[in-house]
Structure 1
Amino acid sequence: MTEFNPEQVRFAIIIATLVMLMMAIFAIVFVIYYQHKRLDQEKKLRDVEKSYQRILLETALRSEESERRRIAQDLHDDIGTMLSLTKLSLNQLAKLLYKDESRLAPIQPGAAHLNTPRAELTLNKAQSLVEETIVHVRRITRDLVPTTLDQFGLVAGIEEFIHRMDDSYALSVHFHCEGEDIPRQSPKVELALYRIMQELVNNAIKHANCDEIVIGLHLRQGKIELQVTDNGKGFDATTVEAGGQAGLGLRNIESRLSVINGEVDYQKLDIRGSSAKVQIPVEPQRSEKPEPLHPFRRTMVKG
């Protein structure tokens, strides 16, 4: 029978202990590596999902703008043309109604005279309705496709929006802008900011019960800041979102901001009213191009 001396036993125990330690270390390293690999894959999956969601949002927004342009084109080409022809026909009818009595045929007893005050009043009312409808169609077309925004930039687009509002709403709208310091951005960014501004102003008109709105556009610390403030009854975005009451307008704002890497901060003012501040990073300076003449200030807009 073979006998082991204490040194051999001690050596065997050390070897076995080292093997077990190596196996334990290997198992720990494998688990850590596996966890790291799994977390890395989950992060990549989240990035892919976020990128995919962003692509879907951009596609949806492009489709929305494309549909807006199609509707605006139909309004301009079809409805606008029909209204113009209707206006022309009414003008021709007015000439027939207002022609000299000497040129009219003798009126038979009991026959209705066409050139009566009632007929004139009806014609004038029809002409006024057609004129008003043409004005509304043009306004809707400009709202659907802000051509001033495309040609002259965000500042001119907001100024035109306010100029049209002065004739439609009984409230005061002010615009403060450091226009000379704000560079032109890509059409996607300018259109997103313009739509967000529209949504914020429309929300203030519909829900805030205000009589004054202030729009600010500034360049601060490498970011473009758009701020819309009203003196209405106030708006607590945190309470609305926590209660699941956020409407389509707020969700549209969040969607547009996610596409252009922007953020929004809603504040309920202490005295009265609320404020929404939107910030987006300034894009790299685009190549210098001569800008067309500004439609309101009649000066050259700097890019």
Structure 2
Amino acid sequence: MREAEQRIKELLDEAIGSVRRISQDLMPVVLDKMGLVQAVGALCRSVPATAGVTATYACNDKSRRLDPRLELVLYRMVQELLNNALKHARATTIHVELLFADDEVTLHFEDNGVGFDATASGQAVAQGVGMVSIESRVRVLNGKIDIQSAAGLGTRVRITVPTKQHDQQTL
């Protein structure tokens, strides 16, 4: 009986932990409370240096806040780019930069990973679903995206989106 009680307690603890992780992933607390600038910084700091990866981050306006929905979409883009660099590109250095202007924000992302042939036919397959998703999000935001990559030369992504108020349906 004691063993069953202990196992039930362990399963409940695991379930609670899973719910917390899912909740955190849906709307990270740091993004909600501190904004995009701090949340992207936290993402970069969470890159595992023990895995031989160095991530740097720069921003020209550390106090800037955007529409929360726009911040969430940009945050998700950075997450996807970091994930790609860590899982697929085998990058050892990653640099993320946010540049705010009066009416737009630009996200620069660069890694020194294996890269891919961005000009090949079947580009969606070469880039993967994540990059296609990022491109779709940028289009929905009426933004621009420039992806530069070549086999063995890493990847550079520049995303610029307007910061004017977005209607909830478009995000």
1:140-151 aligned within 5 A: 141-151=23-33
Say if 2:167 is the partner of 1:277: no
* Offset of residue 249 of structure 1: 0.8
Name which of 135, 153, 159 aligns with 2:35. Answer: 153
Name which of 207, 211, 226 aligns with 2:92. Answer: 211
Q: 1:10-51 CA distances to partner (integer Å, 9 max, x unpaired)?
A: xxxxxxxxxxxxxxxxxxxxxxxxxxxxxxxxxxxxxxxxxx
- Give, in whole Å, the separation in 2 of the partners of 1:203 and 1:229: 11
1:133-282 aligned within 5 A: 141-166=23-48, 169-180=51-62, 183-220=64-101, 222-239=103-120, 241-242=122-123, 245-268=126-149, 272-282=153-163
Using the aligned pairs only, state the percent identity: 34
* Offset of residue 272 of structure 1: 2.9
Relative to structure 1, the CA distance from residue 267 to residue 194 in structure 2 (aligned partners, 3 Å threshold; closer, same or farther) is same
- From the two aligned structures, give the one with the greater helix fraction: 1
Q: State the SS of the aligned residue for 2:120.
A: helix
| 2:46 counterpart letter in structure 1 | R
Assess if the C-alpha contact under 8 Å between 1:269 and 1:275 holds in 2.
Answer: no
Structure 2 residue aligned with 1:82: 12
Q: State the SS of the aligned residue for 1:237.
A: coil
Structure 1 residue aligned with 2:169: none
- From the two aligned structures, give the one with the greater strand fraction: 2
* Offset of residue 222 of structure 1: 3.5
Relative to structure 1, the CA distance from residue 141 to residue 269 in structure 2 (aligned partners, 3 Å threshold; closer, same or farther) is same
Higher relative contact order (CA closer than 8 Å, sequence separation 6+): 2
Relative to structure 1, the CA distance from residue 255 to residue 208 in structure 2 (aligned partners, 3 Å threshold; closer, same or farther) is same
| 2:143 counterpart letter in structure 1 | G
- Give, in whole Å, the separation in 1 of the partners of 2:69 and 2:25: 16
Q: Any stretches of 5+ residues in structure 2 without a counterpart?
A: 1-8, 166-171
Q: State the SS of the aligned residue for 1:225.
A: strand
Q: Any stretches of 5+ residues in structure 1 without a counterpart?
A: 1-78, 85-132, 285-303
Q: 1:163-212 CA distances to partner (integer Å, 9 max, x unpaired)?
A: 333477441110011124x7321111111100011111111112211111
Work out which of the two has the higher radius of gyration on C-alpha atoms and give 1 or 2. Answer: 1
**Count of residue correspondences:** 157
Q: 1:219-278 CA distances to partner (integer Å, 9 max, x unpaired)?
A: 247421101100112233232644754422122112222222122110127983110111
What TM-score results when the alignment is normalised by the length of structure 2?
A: 0.74
